[in-house]
Structure 1
Amino acid sequence: MKLKRLMTAGVALLAFCQSAYSLTTLDSVAVKVNDGVILTSEVDALVNRVTNRSKESGQELPSETALRRQAIDKLIDQTLLLQMAERIGLRISDAQLDQTLTQMAGEQGATLDDMRRSLEASGDNFQTYREEIRNEMIASRTMRASVERRVYVSLQEVQNLLRILEQQGQTNEEYNVGHILIEIPEGSTAEEIKAQKDRAEAVIRLLNEGREFRQIAIASSGGAKALEGGQLGWMNINEMPTLFAEAVKGHKKGDIVGPLRSGAGFHIVKLQDVRGVEVVEAVELKVRHILVKPSIIVSEEKARSMLAGFVTDLKAGTADFGELAKEHSEDPGSALNGGAYDWTDPNSWVGEFKETALGLEKGQISEPFRTQYGWHIMELMDRRISDKTELVKQNRAHQMIFNRRFKEESFTFQRELREQAYIEVIEE
């Protein structure tokens, strides 16, 4: 009996060891980053996602080696930002994550369930993808929170740019920019710098011969958007890094510019498209509302039915909206004013409030509706088209300067994070 128990224990131990060995062979550490690690499975997942996305769009990819190198670089940058987020306590809740995923699915004309089924049909794990998106959101918010503090734009700078834009007569021109960076490592010798310049010139020759830009960017670029095919998106010439802005003047759609030397390396820029910026007249609304907040005393249904009763009385002409607001509304910003707001751009309101306001005719009173603040009823008092041309120009000029500096500071900040970190790439 004792021998049988020993044999049984031995078989169990052997099975456990085999299982543990199987797990270690299935996954391993690809990179050490400070006190954390990037697993081979994480690299595989990112490579697979890029590969699947490229197949759907019919885009040709570089070699697997180049793709994995880019994936590792992206995950290193992301891991450093996630470690910083952990230190400052920045998190993304499940509700925030689901809202983002629903929005992503909606942009493709699908639902969240459609997204899940599509991912699973392509062999991806939805929960893994979900956590990847959460990490991307955390990393993005950490970057923005860290870099925004380093960017300052003065009123004088905005006014100076407005004068320049008027002199150029190019206030409405935007460029869709592709970017490839051939990096120069810290401490490079003159010979190594020349080799990188030769490599940049070779990349330009390939592009001029008709090679696909996104593929070359994924294979060769050291820029932050390498895995996205080097796509920087639409920007005005005044939003570009200064180096790019000076170089692209006089160029047209399809032109390839470079190599441009900076402290980071040699840059190659492609003007993929050009368009004019459309300025839309601003709609402003004047509304008044009554807010009732559900509580331990006032239930959701009681709050809704109370407001429904007000609507009935108002439509019957037996009550006055302003007096009801002063007596019952729990919005301290408007209650004393009879629930009324001054002329407001509806885009500044939360979604349900904005949608309700835009759906009303002048003088119409809404049925009770719910926002994150509680239950409301609303009356649209008036609507107008506001001429905000000058304000739009000022805001646009401020955003141009801010975007340019934010891009420059983001690159510097990410580089500083790397220089201060312990990074050991184990996967070769």
Structure 2
Amino acid sequence: MKFKAVLCSILLLTSTTLYAQPVELDKVSVIVDQGVVLESEIQDLVASVKRSAVTSGQELPSDAALRTQATERLILTNLQMQMAERMGIQISDPQLEQTIANIARGEGMTMEELREKLAAEGMSYDNYREEVRKELITGEVRRANVRRRIYITPQEVESLVRLMEQQGLQQAEYHLGHILIGFPPEPGPEEIESARERADKVLELLNNGSDFAKIAIASSSGPKALEGGDMGWLNINAMPTLFAEVVQDRKKDELIGPIRSGAGFHILKIKDLRGVQTVEITEVNARHILIKPSVILSEDKAEQMLKDFRSKVLAGEADFAELAKEHSADPGSALKGGELGWADPSVYVPEFRDTLNQLQPQEISQPFRTTHGWHLAQLLDRRVGDVTDKVQEDKAYQLLFNRKFAEEADNWIREMRDSAYIEVLE
């Protein structure tokens, strides 16, 4: 009897196993060239946007509109990650942890407090790490591909320097909201007219009191759509030329548009504005030796290598400049003995900037890590003074670069998207 009972139990379990319904764990929602976007990725991003909206009290559009925006964001990220793989761009774990530590410090939190905040928002620390890693990688891909598309002539710099002098450096900054009603490359008259009608409808809704961020999330084709179209604070000389020409003399909360460009029709909102104060600049002149860890050279060995360099320089057994020429992985400064020249310390990554700020002239730091690798830095001198012609030229160049970078980044992303094979699966 016992044997029969056991046999019946086995048959029952086998029968249950044979006829159990399959459980769908995940599925492919979009084919993106050689990669895919999973359904779980779309749902996770939508859930993240919803959590952020609850925290900030932001009203959101329909789930269908959110899903469309989230899918498009993931398609672009996927394409850039594929390109990063082809280019060999990677972010090591030490670089990643250093970046996350900087993020926590910038938010006034310890790492433990950051973990607790993430847990309270329903995100695991491991998932957060990988999201930060993706952002760093896509940022590197974007910079590498867009930078080579930018050319700035000396005449452009001179013209902007003269304009800055005329304005007395009291240049306005605008906090802009942006909605783009896009149309495809080489659109026909009907497509242009359709986009124009949709843009007019959006502007009508905004003039009647509709929430700008909600409309941007639901309707915008711009890169900041999921952020409610918030472009942040932009100097008038750093924003796209098309925008710079229309925001001058406009007031807070004013709506502008629709403005046509090659990408579609733009609608802007001036969320706020402020003047730029002229301040004295404290510049530093420094030099450094950069050692980049690799498969052959471990993190510990790279750090120890710089410790040995430091001891030899302090003992008079080696010259800092000669060591930099021979060993530094920074090609721009190695030939100059590691010298970086006079610069505003804010142009450096936070760890480098903070290290220089703690040094006295001629003092050599201990080895320290940044996202670029391990550094040994020496502060040569520090000076405080008025803005010089060189600083004005550097500022003008950077403003022009930022403007062109923003314009070319949008063009590059659109070209990459248009040339890719994208199939959204039912």
5 Å-filtered alignment, 1:126-145, equals: 126-145=125-144
Residues 322-371 of structure 1 show CA distances to partners (whole Å, capped at 9, x for unaligned) of: 9x553355552689xxx9989854727786675455345679x78x8343
Residue 196 of structure 1, CA deviation: 2.1
Match of 1:392 in 2: 391
Q: Which runs of 5+ in 1 are unaligned?
A: 311-321
**Cα distance in 2 between the residues matched to 1:80 and 1:334:** 38
Structure 1 window deviating more from structure 2 (252-261 vs 118-127): it is 118-127
Checking the alignment, whether the CA contact within 8 Å between 2:170 and 2:278 is kept in structure 1 is no
Residues 168-189 of structure 1 show CA distances to partners (whole Å, capped at 9, x for unaligned) of: 5675211111110011134655
Checking the alignment, whether the CA contact within 8 Å between 1:178 and 1:232 is kept in structure 2 is yes
Match of 1:211 in 2: 210
Checking the alignment, whether the CA contact within 8 Å between 1:257 and 1:270 is kept in structure 2 is yes
Checking the alignment, whether the CA contact within 8 Å between 1:240 and 1:404 is kept in structure 2 is yes
Match of 1:45 in 2: 44
Checking the alignment, whether the CA contact within 8 Å between 2:254 and 2:270 is kept in structure 1 is yes
Match of 2:293 in 1: none
Checking the alignment, whether the CA contact within 8 Å between 1:290 and 1:325 is kept in structure 2 is no
Residue 118 to residue 18, structure 1, CA distance change in 2 (3 Å): farther
5 Å-filtered alignment, 1:19-418, equals: 21-22=22-23, 24=24, 26-167=25-166, 171-186=170-185, 188-284=187-283, 326-328=316-318, 332=322, 344-345=342-343, 347=345, 355=354, 358-359=357-358, 369-372=366-369, 383-418=382-417
Residue 90 of structure 1, CA deviation: 0.7
Residue 76 to residue 387, structure 1, CA distance change in 2 (3 Å): same
Residue 229 to residue 354, structure 1, CA distance change in 2 (3 Å): closer
Residue 6 to residue 163, structure 1, CA distance change in 2 (3 Å): farther
Checking the alignment, whether the CA contact within 8 Å between 1:61 and 1:218 is kept in structure 2 is yes
Structure 1 window deviating more from structure 2 (258-267 vs 115-124): it is 115-124
Q: Report the residue type matching 1:31 in the other structure.
A: V
Structure 1 window deviating more from structure 2 (6-15 vs 189-198): it is 6-15
Q: Report the residue type matching 2:154 in the other structure.
A: L
Q: Which runs of 5+ in 2 are unaligned?
A: 291-297, 326-336
Q: TM-score, normalised by structure 1?
A: 0.79
**Cα distance in 2 between the residues matched to 1:155 and 1:32:** 45
Q: Report the residue type matching 1:138 in the other structure.
A: I
**Cα distance in 2 between the residues matched to 1:290 and 1:80:** 35
Residue 285 of structure 1, CA deviation: 5.1
**Cα distance in 2 between the residues matched to 1:39 and 1:334:** 47
Match of 1:317 in 2: none
Checking the alignment, whether the CA contact within 8 Å between 1:282 and 1:345 is kept in structure 2 is no
Residues 217-274 of structure 1 show CA distances to partners (whole Å, capped at 9, x for unaligned) of: 1111001110111112222222222222222233122211000112211110111111
**Cα distance in 2 between the residues matched to 1:377 and 1:88:** 30
The structure whose Rg is larger is 1
**Cα distance in 1 between the residues matched to 2:267 and 2:338:** 54
Residue 400 of structure 1, CA deviation: 2.0
**Cα distance in 2 between the residues matched to 1:157 and 1:109:** 40
Residue 209 to residue 169, structure 1, CA distance change in 2 (3 Å): farther
Residue 56 of structure 1, CA deviation: 0.8
Q: Report the residue type matching 2:317 in the other structure.
A: E
**Cα distance in 2 between the residues matched to 1:381 and 1:211:** 56
Instruction: Describe the SS at the equivalent of 1:270.
Output: strand
Residue 393 of structure 1, CA deviation: 2.0
Checking the alignment, whether the CA contact within 8 Å between 1:346 and 1:354 is kept in structure 2 is no
Residue 141 to residue 329, structure 1, CA distance change in 2 (3 Å): same
Q: What is the number of equivalent residue pairs in this alignment? A: 402
Residue 48 to residue 17, structure 1, CA distance change in 2 (3 Å): farther
**Percent identity of the aligned residues?**
44
**Cα distance in 2 between the residues matched to 1:138 and 1:125:** 20
Residue 135 to residue 18, structure 1, CA distance change in 2 (3 Å): farther
Residue 55 of structure 1, CA deviation: 0.9
**Cα distance in 2 between the residues matched to 1:289 and 1:142:** 26
Residue 197 of structure 1, CA deviation: 1.4
Residue 91 to residue 11, structure 1, CA distance change in 2 (3 Å): farther
Residue 163 to residue 231, structure 1, CA distance change in 2 (3 Å): same
Checking the alignment, whether the CA contact within 8 Å between 1:285 and 1:382 is kept in structure 2 is yes
Q: TM-score, normalised by structure 2?
A: 0.79
**Cα distance in 1 between the residues matched to 2:64 and 2:179:** 18
Checking the alignment, whether the CA contact within 8 Å between 1:43 and 1:72 is kept in structure 2 is yes
Instruction: Describe the SS at the equivalent of 1:269.
Output: strand
**Cα distance in 1 between the residues matched to 2:421 and 2:165:** 49
Residue 195 to residue 360, structure 1, CA distance change in 2 (3 Å): closer
Q: Report the residue type matching 1:327 in the other structure.
A: E
Instruction: Describe the SS at the equivalent of 1:274.
Output: strand
